[in-house]
Structure 1
Amino acid sequence: MNPHASLPAELLTLLPPPLQTAVEPVALERGKTLFAQGTRPVALFYVVRGEVVLERAGRQGQAVVLQRVRRGFVAEASMQSSRYHCSGLATVAGQVFRLPMTPLKAALQDDCRFAVRWIGMLNDEVRRLRAQTERLTLKGVEARLLHLIETEGRAGRLAIESGLKSLSAQLGVTHEALYRTVAALEQQGRLARRDGVLLLR
């Protein structure tokens, strides 16, 4: 049996086999800090389940949330830095995979095909962040919610394992407003909610 068969399909496709051996699964417990702002970057992480938020200390000492990640890499922006730009905190239990920086950087230098795949992955992330920026300019909870399902869901289906309350923070709205909007769309027959999934009808 392949010892790395448990790796998510995205990592099996992206990473060359030698680098796959350096990846380690890490249980994600709510409240766990994966990395702290200001410390030396030693690894990045791929979230497969749960939720990790990227936080930075504000001027008044308050935590400012920069990004919420439920699937994908975190800390890749710190690869060329001497310090992590922010902290990675688990807000929903799940699982991540830890990828050490040193073998990753070596593979990017030595394997041109992998470097091209890595650039493609980063391009996809830029497109996703642009969609997120566009979404936050939309007026109304319904418009933002439908935009999220259409851009980040698949075939009109969006997994919401972390629940509507966490989703409301991602949309930049109150959870009460999101609950009302979801209920109204369900009544209209335009949306269904079942087993942690929002489904457009």
Structure 2
Amino acid sequence: MIAEPHLPAELATLLPPSLHALCVTRRHDQGDRLFATGARPAHMFFISEGEVVLERASPHGAATVLQRARRGFVGEASLQAARYHCDARVLAASRITRVPVIAMRTALASDAAFAMRWVAMLNAEVRRLRLQCERLTLHRVQDRVLHLLDTEGERGRYPVPAGLKSLAGELGVTHEALYRALAALEKTGRLERQEGALLRVAL
């Protein structure tokens, strides 16, 4: 893990200056674990590059994916929790900033402007999750892919740092079905595959 001197711009805008010096940004490798089930929360984690998955072991030992994060916070619930309720694992090389939980609680309680920015960020996350639920109601895989690019892509470009199998899991389809859908969209000129990303092509 390699430490970096600067906060991501999005995080620097969100957090009050009093928290900036307490944050640490590092590069993480695939397979790194950010936290484990049952551990006491010490930090929240902001993903600015890469991909992190939150997962919990089922009674039969298989991992159940609770969330995939390519941008934004994971572990928000740790602000009010005595223990982590899942594991956080890095799926692809990532740039991640850790923010101390106790300092976050203090800042939210004492800084009304920061508290309002935090609420606005959580509202945006709720809207994103609603779009995800809407996407999963679509029957055709092609429609799910286009919906994802239209609603979450930046100018139609959506990063896929952990590969298409991870994306298939996010879309709730098999990777074979996703490959077929991408091939069909490419053939009709509605999508281009780039290195580590998908690009929506306007017709």
Specify the TM-score bucket, using the shorter chain as the normaliser: over 0.9
The 5 Å alignment of 1:1-201 reads 6-201=6-201
Identity of aligned residues (%): 54
In the TM superposition, residue 5 of structure 1 has moved relative to its aligned partner by 6.9
Q: Which runs of no fewer than 5 residues in structure 1 stay unpaired?
A: none
TM-score, structure 2 normalization: 0.92
Partner AA of 1:98 in structure 2 = R
Partner AA of 1:45 in structure 2 = F
Question: Which digits, 9 at most, give the CA deviation of each residue in 1:162-182, with x for residues without a partner?
Answer: 222221111111112111111
SS at match of 1:96: strand
Are 2:150 and 2:156, in contact at CA under 8 Å, matched by a contact in 1? yes
SS at match of 1:199: strand
SS at match of 1:90: strand
How far apart are the structure 2 equivalents of 1:119 and 1:5? Answer: 27
Divergent runs of 4+, >3 A:
none
Question: Which digits, 9 at most, give the CA deviation of each residue in 1:69-112, with x for residues without a partner?
Answer: 11110000121011112110111122200101011111101110
Are 2:78 and 2:101, in contact at CA under 8 Å, matched by a contact in 1? no
SS at match of 2:139: coil
SS at match of 1:189: coil
SS at match of 1:139: coil
User: What is the number of equivalent residue pairs in this alignment?
Assistant: 198
SS at match of 1:53: strand
SS at match of 2:60: coil
In the TM superposition, residue 10 of structure 1 has moved relative to its aligned partner by 1.0
Q: Which 10-residue stretch deviates more, 125-134 or 155-164? A: 155-164
Question: Which digits, 9 at most, give the CA deviation of each residue in 1:48-84, with x for residues without a partner?
Answer: 1221100112122221110101111000012101111
Are 2:53 and 2:67, in contact at CA under 8 Å, matched by a contact in 1? yes
Partner AA of 2:199 in structure 1 = L
Q: Which 10-residue stretch deviates more, 158-167 or 21-30? A: 158-167
How far apart are the structure 1 equivalents of 2:186 and 2:49? Answer: 26
TM-score, structure 1 normalization: 0.93
Q: Which runs of no fewer than 5 residues in structure 2 stay unpaired?
A: none
Aligned residues: CA RMSD: 1.4
